[in-house]
Amino acid sequence: MSRPAALVLIGTPIGNLGDLSPRAIEELASASVICCEDTRRTGKLLAHAGIERPDLLVVNDHNESSRRAEVVRRIEHGERVAVVTDAGMPGISDPGERLVSAVVRAGLTVEVVPGPSAGVAALVGSGLPTGRYVFEGFLPRKAGARAERLAELVDERRTLVFYEAPHRVDRTLADLAAAFGGDRRVVVARELTKLYEEFWRGSLDEAVAWAADTPPRGEIAIVVDGAPAPAEPTDDDVSAELRRLLDGGLSTRDAAADVAGRFGLAKKRVYNLALELGR
């Protein structure tokens, strides 16, 4: 049975070729053309899967925008266009996002064949909270943009996931420690699914020393614990803020409403404290 024309995003192994799924093999074998970052790497993957090499179209960070029209045209003409990257899921810190946007705008079909993702693998193996997390990918390389991004994340209470190249991981860990504090928990995952897979766990200060002593090799994912919840203010703290507002001329009711809203406290508790001050 012929398959409908579509853009098919296919997850591929992040290291261990045994993670290539049967469905991924089937889709790669039946695709009219495969968009890939590197024809040599994808060629090796196809050879491992026993797939006779189809047409390969190079789509990388530099030419993805210029390839969009060709991909859309191929699908409009009835072709099934597969998209893979060198490793993992297309569109996650890799080419694919702009292709998907163009195909969706053209009213054409997009399908996804799920597969490995280094960020998710690092997260679930980290031992840090996984219920809510933020994927940040690669931090900006320029110092100003990097500092701005980290400042935005200082109070983020969800677990943070970053990608980094081995030759920059020491700098990134140092920047994370400076921004978040050296005692924040971190897990550095490297060579995931490969022979020398490693999960290093400790504080950010300890991670900086570890990376300096034994620079990690291989592709790296960094998982950082979220910011701790702010301590709830004591009655003395609340009373001091209420006194400031009352002395400034606010009514008891307005001062209590203001403080309860800003501190996220029960209105009744704050109002009772305000009444005590009034007495």
pLDDT along the chain (279 residues), means of 10: 88 95 96 95 95 90 93 96 96 94 97 96 97 96 95 96 95 97 97 95 97 88 93 84 87 89 86 82
Q: What is the pLDDT of residue 1?
A: 53
* Helices 235-247 and 252-263, axial angle in degrees (round to 10): 130
CA distance 31 to 81: 6
What's the distance, CA 191 to chain centroid? 18
Give residue 116's pLDDT.
Answer: 94
Can you say how many angstroms the Cα of residue 107 is from the centroid of all Cα atoms in its chain?
28
CA pair distance 213, 193, nearest whole angstrom: 24
Interatomic CA distance for residues 52 and 192, integer angstroms: 28
Give the distance from CA 148 to its chain's centroid.
Answer: 17
Which 3 state secondary structure label does DSSP give 156? coil
Question: Is residue 15 helix, strand or coil?
Answer: coil
pLDDT at 90: 96
d(CA 252, CA 270): 10
Helix (H) or strand (E) holding 41: helix 39-48
pTM: 0.82
pLDDT of residue 126: 98
Length of the chain: 279
Query: What's the confidence (pLDDT) of residue 159?
Result: 98
Measured CA to CA in angstroms, residue 219 lies from 16, 93, 118, 190, 198 at distances of 13, 13, 9, 6, 11
Q: How far apart are the first and last CA of the chain?
A: 84
